[in-house]
Amino acid sequence: MAARVKSTINPALLVWARETAGFTPSEAATRLKIDEARLAAWEDPANEDAPSIPQLRKIAALLKRPLAVFYLGESPPRFAVMRDLRRLSGMGARSYSPAVQLEIRAATERRELALELATDLEQEIPQFELSATVQEDAEAVGAGIRTTLGVTKDLQWHWRDNDGRTAFNAWRNLIETACRRS
């Protein structure tokens, strides 16, 4: 039997890819069907062990990353984990599921493409002008948003459905319309 050919990846990128994909070491090892100790050895820069190319392909597929990303010198800055701006400072980091992490990455990439396209077409990017602070009364802020967007209680009642998509789509359309007007 031929010797296993080890990949020459950067172990720090393996850690980065796993963490930014939303997997704990235990979850990743379970999904990859390997021991957690083996994954820890692959992620340890002081250790000589590394996954084989077929194992690296499985890792890349699980973490939804191109195979080449594991050979970079350092992690790409544009894939930074998103901050949750809805939390107060000092509340600690919030962890997201791998599925949510993937959607955040996809949305960020789409946003970057849209901004680049708008710049190339020399179009002004619409701004949403409403803002609020933590000190403001939540009811007053909500009332102000509804007034600005023209949302009545009857209209909100009309949006009710089982999965919430109707209300979400209606709010999104109103916000997008308000951005286009400003």
Inform me whether the pLDDT recorded for 170 exceeds 60. Answer: yes
Instruction: Give the pLDDT band (50/70/90) at residue 99.
Output: confident
Where does residue 62 rank: exposed (0-12), middle (13-18), buried (19+ CB within 10 A)?
middle
pLDDT at 106: 87
pTM of this structure: 0.56
* Average pLDDT estimate for 169-181: 84
Q: How confident is the model at residue 91 (pLDDT cuts 50, 70, 90)?
A: low
User: Residue 120's pLDDT band (boundaries 50, 70, 90)?
Assistant: very high
**In Å, how far are 17, 44, 52, 153, 172 from 75, measured between CA atoms?**
8, 16, 21, 48, 33
Residues 6+ apart with CB under 8 A from 57: 67
Domains of the chain: 1-82+93-125 (1.10.260.40), 126-182 (no CATH)
CA distance 53 to 35: 18
Q: Is the predicted pLDDT of residue 82 greater than 80, yes or no?
A: no
Question: Phi/psi of residue 52, each to 5°?
Answer: -75, 170
Give the model confidence (pLDDT) of 11-45 as tens digits.
Answer: 889 999 998 888 999 999 999 999 999 999 999 88
Count of all residues that appear for the chain in the document: 182
